[in-house]
């Protein structure tokens, strides 16, 4: 089992400034999944289930790395668990040294999988090593990782990933993620459970209800991807709750109940500064899918080399 | 369970529909009488405005007066004065949601809703809407509905900067449970004295520093004791605007030693704060606290 590669400049910046800060908020440990063509950071999938929230950040290998070499007996795939904050700390530290030697054309940060014998240990342990060669010094940092997944576990992980690929029929683009986060931060004082409804007209409705109070927010006429229908006449004069209930009854909306804690956590993904964000409810109300989209820099064209999404588990099917 | 004790609700029109353009000001005013997390409040509606009343242990009562002039529209349709109870904490938390940055729109307040709720909703943006429906209940009887009366022909009163009053009361936390407030005409001075774990005396001499006591009226010596926790509640939740705007508070000792403390809280949009502070007194919420004295002694 071998893996080594050099970070690209974009790769370093993307991980350091955007994705690792967001992934740190998802949980302490993430699964790093390397394939011949992709690099993935996974949270809450296989083998650890976490608290139910799943988060997947997938990159085309050439976006993050150059001279990417991987080989293993599991179809040249490797997956292991690592502490996200340690990964981030090692990368930041490597970047600091790298910045000091930018005049050197050969300066680069190499990452590789190694086995080393820790002091006082009987058996070697796996590490992800960051090697930075500056003008005056070379710095090596070893981040401890878990034992890489077996072939059977890798197959299982891939099948969990494949099952998470099903897209909602209707996705709505949320207007402003930081505004939504500010709203949800205040809604979380009201209750722990949240009902999210998404209509095919392009409406997103969030509601928190307790025995004493019901607080909600509705965003209408959002951009829709997928199944889109026009709202019925006279819809505009109704209250947000009534409108949503009617849409659910007509089969033109789905409604699910989520843990407020999960939504708050998923909103931390705004640290990865996506260009736009879509919310959708998976078929049969299986989960709330949040898809973050990135544009090719300087354009409005979706960057296919980055795929970043969260799946929030549903507590109860609110549409019944 | 919910109820309105006001009349005129045979038709479908609500008792009150009003709109407010400065939610943060209302949050500030209501927060200043929120001395603990879970607090029940009674709201009384009238043609003149909204009054919110909170009480504790029959010894402390606070009222927030939101005059109709504070609202950009105020449509009052009830006869009499409808009253309802709700959780002050919930009301403040809900209003806080509307005052989030980027949500500076006007809110509409309506009572009652279809199920006697208090309804709040943002207005102005056709494509996004924020709303809250707060359940109301039959209000508790106000066990101690005290009508404050002056102690004599000359009121016993002083006016002090709100920040100084707060600082003095905060400092009295050290001696603890019981605080004596004394006023005397010769020399004119107000004294706060705490005895408990130690003794602490804070004096506000009228002539010594004109910035300290802005007004002072007292024709005889008076001394009353109040529980520290009630006294503290009168200043502990001042919004920052009160301190920033250098507001004053008026303290009056009435018949039987009843203490009345009045504060002013700005309910103006932040950008227009300075303009409103002086020129538009109508953009002010009045806060009143009534504190009952400890029963052992009243010396006058």
Residue B271 pLDDT > 80: no
Most confident of A66-70, A94-98, B94-98, B293-297: A66-70
On whether both B236 and B275 belong to a single domain, the answer is yes
d(CA A121, CA B247): 68
- In this prediction, residue B5 carries a pLDDT of 45
Chain A residues within 8 A of B137 when measuring between CB atoms = none
For each of the domains in chain A, give its residue range(s) and CATH number, in order of start: 2-163 (3.70.10.10), 170-313 (3.70.10.10)
Per the structure, how many domains does chain B have?
Answer: 2
> Which residues fall within 8 angstroms of residue B262, CB to CB, at 6 or more apart?
B249, B250, B251, B252, B286, B287, B288, B289
**CATH code, domain with B190:** 3.70.10.10
B259-266 vs B284-291, strand pairing mode: antiparallel
> B42 lies in a domain?
yes
B273 shares its domain with B160: yes
Domain membership of residue B182 (yes or no) is yes
Whether B9 is covered by a domain: the verdict is: no
pLDDT, average across residues B242-258: 89
The enclosing domain of B25 has a CATH number of 3.10.150.10
**pLDDT higher for B9 or B137?**
B137
Between residues A320 and B197, which one has the greater pLDDT?
Answer: B197
The verdict on a CB contact (< 8 Å) between A190 and B128 is no
Q: Using 50, 70 and 90 to split pLDDT, how confident is the model at B276?
A: very low
B71 in any annotated domain = yes
Q: Is the pLDDT of residue B117 over 80?
A: yes
Are B160 and B295 part of one and the same domain? Answer: yes
A316 touches chain B (CB under 8 A): no
Note the pLDDT of residue A172: 97
- Domain boundary (B74, B100, B134) is at B134
Q: What is the pLDDT of residue A316?
A: 64
Q: Does residue B106 sit in the same domain as residue B168?
A: no
What residues contact A127, with CB distance under 8 A and at least 6 apart?
Answer: A113, A114, A115, A116, A142, A143, A144, A145
Whether B127 sits inside 8 A of A215 (CB atoms) is no
Angle at A121 between CA A115 and CA A126, to 5 degrees: 20
A242 in contact with B at a CB cutoff of 8 Å? no
Q: What distance in Å separates residue A240's CA from the closest CA in chain B?
A: 8
B123 lies within 8 A of chain A by CB:
no
Same domain flag for B82 and B203: no
Which ipTM was obtained for this model?
0.81
Q: What confidence score (pLDDT) does residue A311 get? A: 94
The partner residues of A66 in beta bridges, in order of sequence, read: A6
Chain A / chain B CB contacts < 8 angstroms: 64
| Cross-chain CB nearest to A213 (options B90, B102, B126) | B90
Residue of chain B nearest A181, judged by CA positions = B100
The answer to whether A196 and A258 are in contact (CB under 8 A) is yes
**Both B112 and B200 in a single domain?**
no
The whole-angstrom distance between A220's CA and the closest CA on chain B is: 5
**Quick check: is B139 in a domain?**
no
Same domain? B164 vs B294: yes
Q: How far is CA B84 from CA A157, B6, B11, in A?
A: 57, 9, 19
Contact B8, B80 (CB under 8 A): yes
| Domain endpoint, select from B134, B166, B198 | B134
- Same domain for B115 and B198, yes or no, is no
- Looking at the complex, does the CB of residue A218 fall below 8 Å from at least one CB of chain B? yes
The one-digit pLDDT tens for each residue of chain A (320 residues) are 899 999 999 999 999 999 999 999 999 999 999 999 999 999 998 777 678 899 999 999 999 999 999 999 999 999 999 999 999 999 999 988 888 776 776 778 999 999 998 888 889 999 999 998 777 778 899 999 999 999 999 999 999 898 888 889 999 999 888 888 888 888 888 889 999 999 999 999 999 999 999 999 999 999 999 999 998 887 777 888 889 999 999 999 999 999 999 999 999 999 999 999 999 999 889 899 999 999 998 999 999 999 999 999 998 654 44
Residues B196, B103, single domain; the answer is: no
Task: Decide if B124 is inside a domain.
Answer: yes
Task: Single out the residue in B73, B103, B134 at which a domain terminates.
Answer: B134
For chain B, give the percent of residues with pLDDT over 90. 54
Measured in angstroms, the CA of B135 and the nearest CA of chain A are apart by 5
pLDDT in the model for residue A2: 93
Using pLDDT thresholds of 50, 70 and 90, give the confidence band for residue B38.
confident
With respect to residue B294, please indicate whether it lies within any of the assigned structural domains.
yes
Residues of B in contact with A190 (CB under 8 A): 90, 93-94, 97
Are residues B294 and B195 part of one domain? yes
> Above 80 in pLDDT, residue B151?
no
User: Whole domain around residue B193: which residue ranges?
Assistant: 156-299
Q: What is the pLDDT of residue B7?
A: 44
Interface check A165 vs B, CB under 8 A = no
Find out whether A112 and A4 touch, Cβ atoms under 8 Å. yes
Q: Is B100 on the interface with A (CB under 8 A)?
A: yes
Whether B8 shows a pLDDT value over 70: the answer reads: no
Q: Looking at the structure, do residues B163 and B203 belong to the same domain, yes or no? A: yes
Mean pLDDT of the residues in chain B: 84
The bridge status of strand A29-34 relative to strand A38-43 is: antiparallel
Are B111 and B180 within one domain?
no
Q: Is residue B10 part of a domain?
A: no
């Amino acid at each position: 089992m071998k893996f080594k590669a050099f970070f690209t400049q974009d790769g370093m910046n993307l991980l350091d400034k955007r994705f690792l800060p967001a992934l740190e908020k998802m949980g302490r440990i993430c699964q790093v999944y390397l394939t011949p063509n992709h690099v993935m950071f996974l949270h809450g999938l296989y083998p650890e289930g976490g608290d139910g929230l799943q988060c997947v950040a997938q990159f085309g290998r050439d976006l993050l790395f150059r001279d990417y070499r991987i080989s293993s007996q599991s179809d040249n795939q490797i997956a292991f668990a690592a502490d996200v904050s340690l990964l981030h700390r090692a990368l930041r530290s490597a970047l600091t040294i790298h910045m000091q030697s930018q005049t050197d054309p050969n300066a680069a940060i190499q990452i590789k999988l190694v086995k080393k014998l820790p002091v006082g240990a009987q058996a070697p342990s796996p590490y992800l090593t960051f090697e930075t060669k500056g003008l005056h010094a070379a710095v090596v940092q070893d981040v401890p990782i878990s034992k890489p997944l077996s072939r059977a576990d890798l197959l299982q992980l891939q099948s969990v990933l494949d099952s998470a690929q099903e897209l909602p029929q209707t996705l709505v683009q949320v207007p402003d993620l930081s505004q939504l986060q500010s709203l949800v931060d205040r809604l979380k004082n009201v209750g722990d459970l949240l009902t999210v409804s998404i209509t095919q007209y392009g409406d997103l409705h969030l509601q928190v209800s307790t025995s004493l109070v019901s607080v909600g927010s509705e965003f209408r006429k959002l951009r829709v991807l997928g199944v889109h229908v026009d709202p019925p006449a006279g819809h505009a004069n109704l209250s947000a709750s009534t409108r949503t209930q009617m849409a659910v009854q007509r089969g033109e909306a789905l409604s699910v109940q989520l843990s407020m804690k999960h939504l708050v956590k998923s909103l931390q993904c705004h640290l990865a500064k996506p260009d736009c964000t879509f919310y959708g409810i998976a078929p049969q109300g299986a989960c709330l899918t949040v898809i973050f989209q990135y544009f090719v820099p300087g354009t409005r064209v979706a960057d296919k080399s980055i795929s970043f999404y969260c799946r929030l588990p549903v507590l109860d099917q609110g549409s019944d | 369970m919910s109820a309105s004790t006001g009349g005129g609700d045979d038709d479908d029109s609500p008792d009150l529909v009003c709109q407010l353009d400065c939610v943060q000001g209302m949050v500030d005013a209501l927060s200043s009488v929120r001395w603990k997390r879970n607090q029940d409040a009674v709201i009384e509606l009238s043609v003149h405005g909204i009054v919110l009343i909170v009480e504790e242990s029959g010894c402390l009562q606070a009222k927030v007066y939101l005059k109709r002039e504070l609202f950009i529209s105020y449509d009052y349709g009830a006869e009499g004065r409808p009253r309802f109870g709700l959780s002050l904490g919930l009301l403040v938390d809900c209003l806080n949601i509307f005052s989030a940055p980027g949500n500076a729109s006007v809110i509409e307040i309506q009572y009652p809703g279809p199920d006697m709720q208090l309804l709040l909703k943002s207005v102005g943006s056709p494509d996004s809407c924020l709303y809250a429906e707060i359940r109301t209940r039959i209000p508790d009887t106000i066990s101690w509905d005290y009508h404050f009366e002056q102690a004599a022909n000359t009121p016993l009163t002083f006016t002090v900067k709100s920040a100084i009053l707060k600082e003095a009361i905060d400092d009295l936390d050290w001696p603890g449970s019981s605080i004596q407030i004394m006023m005397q005409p010769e020399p004119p001075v107000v004294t706060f004295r705490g005895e408990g774990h130690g003794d602490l005396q804070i004096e506000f001499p009228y002539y010594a520093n004109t910035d300290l006591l802005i007004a002072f009226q007292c024709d005889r010596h008076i001394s009353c004791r109040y529980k520290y926790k009630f006294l503290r509640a009168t200043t502990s939740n001042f919004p920052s605007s009160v301190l920033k705007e250098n507001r004053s508070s008026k303290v009056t000792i009435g018949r039987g030693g009843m203490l009345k403390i009045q504060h002013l809280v700005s309910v103006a949009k932040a950008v227009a704060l300075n303009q409103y502070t002086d020129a538009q007194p109508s953009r002010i919420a009045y806060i009143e606290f009534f504190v009952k004295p400890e029963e052992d002694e009243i010396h006058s």
